[in-house]
Structure 1
Amino acid sequence: MTAITVPSVATIIRALDAAQAETRLDELADILVDAVAHGASVNFMAGFPQPQAREFWRGQLPGLADGTKCLLVAEAGARLLGTVVLSFAHQPNAPHRAEIGKMLVHSAARRQGLGRRLLTAAEQAACAAGRTLLLLDTETGSAGDRLYRSCGWTEIGRVPNHAFKPDGSLAETTIFCKELGAHRFSDRTPGLPHRAAAAAESAAAPGRTTPPSPAGCR
């Protein structure tokens, strides 16, 4: 795991397309390995190695290329500090739905509001893509749990002993949802990645805390 020094420059939130993400696999892997090392319940166990973390992110590239996923990152001085992945539902009866995943902030950059900015950007990206119902899950009682509640997400259930944490202990998972506006049926292809990315970056501009909702949301 590579140590990260947080640059003393403004942090921006922006989207990475597949080609850009492929050139940043090492940094993306660093963030994921750091999260596991600090006990985050994000599918992997203690000792999770850098090469496997790289392969996880490499596995996201096809979705970024075909528009079924959107990757947003927090970046300061060309150094990646956080990630969030928006996955658009592909089922014909769910063109209004998306899931939030891999909402991660490197331990060296926490308590700066980056998680909230990443989440806001992901919500705006979903809205721009016509996705008005978002879902996610997180370890009950975790920092993520507290963040989602403070950002207006609604708990819809809990699963006891849902997953093993990196240290081998079992943890309960809380499932959340958030409705961003009226749900309308559309048979357009999932994603609209360019529009979604542009909306996300605008929403997450430094100093903006309550971005206006794009047309189609609210």
Structure 2
Amino acid sequence: MSVAISTFSAEDISHHLGELGALLHACVHDGASIGFVLPYAQSEAEAFWRDKVLPGVGAGMRIMLVAHKDGRIAGTVQLGCDTMPNQPHRADVNKLMVHPDFRRQGIARLLMRELEARARELGRSLLTLDTRTGDSAEPLYTALGYQMVGTIPAYARDPFGSDRLDATTVMYKLL
């Protein structure tokens, strides 16, 4: 079955909180460094979508793209457009995640391509992001044309709850 990419509204997020929570929960438990550490409950994952993402989508400051495959939400990414008045030309790539059941199928690449198309439609010519240094997403971003600016050491805690602090790599792409 093919992958379909759709744009989620605030109502869509609210309607799919359980499935979105399951996606985030699975990614964190699989070691994704996307801001959360173990232990991490499904209810916390659902609260993230409801309390952090839904308001931005509802206000038109965030675009949320969702990949569907085999009747399930397989992945998601967000385009943060809530920039300062001197930055209407740029946006942030946030929370690219693909459920472990759907990895290595090109879904992240499809989500990023659609995100870039949406950014262009909005007149955004610069995208920025950060990713854990050495993470599996780093080569993906490089292959998609993102340039590394540098790394920041000891940026975030390891998702497995250890005291280890991981570096982050800051990247950008001119569209």
| Fold similarity call, TM over 0.5 | yes
- 1:134·1:179 contact (CA, 8 Å) conserved in 2? yes
Determine the structure 2 residue equivalent to 1:17.
9
Determine the structure 2 residue equivalent to 1:170.
165
Output the amino acid matched with 1:37.
Answer: H
Normalised to the residue count of structure 1, the TM-score between the two structures is: 0.77
- 1:80 matches 2:66: no
**Matches of 1:10 and 1:112, distance apart in 2:** 10
- 1:40·1:165 contact (CA, 8 Å) conserved in 2? no
Normalised to the residue count of structure 2, the TM-score between the two structures is: 0.95
Provide the secondary structure at the position in 2 that maps to 1:149: helix
**Matches of 1:10 and 1:155, distance apart in 2:** 32
How many residues in Structure 1 have an aligned counterpart in Structure 2? 172
Provide the secondary structure at the position in 2 that maps to 1:10: coil
**Matches of 2:62 and 2:88, distance apart in 1:** 13
Deviations 1:150-181 (A, max 9, x none): 1100001100111111122221100000011x
Residue 147 of structure 1: CA displacement?
0.4
Provide the secondary structure at the position in 2 that maps to 1:100: strand
Determine the structure 2 residue equivalent to 1:107.
100
Structure 1 segments of 4 or more deviating over 3 A? Answer: none
**Matches of 1:80 and 1:146, distance apart in 2:** 24
Q: How large is the Cα RMSD of the aligned pairs?
A: 1.0
Determine the structure 2 residue equivalent to 1:160.
153
- 1:145 matches 2:138: yes
**Matches of 2:103 and 2:151, distance apart in 1:** 26
User: Unaligned 5+ residue runs, structure 1?
Assistant: 1-8, 181-218
Residue 89 of structure 1: CA displacement?
3.2
Identical amino acids, percent of aligned pairs? 38
User: Unaligned 5+ residue runs, structure 2?
Assistant: none
Which of 128, 132, 135 is matched with 2:125 structurally? 132
**Matches of 1:89 and 1:63, distance apart in 2:** 8
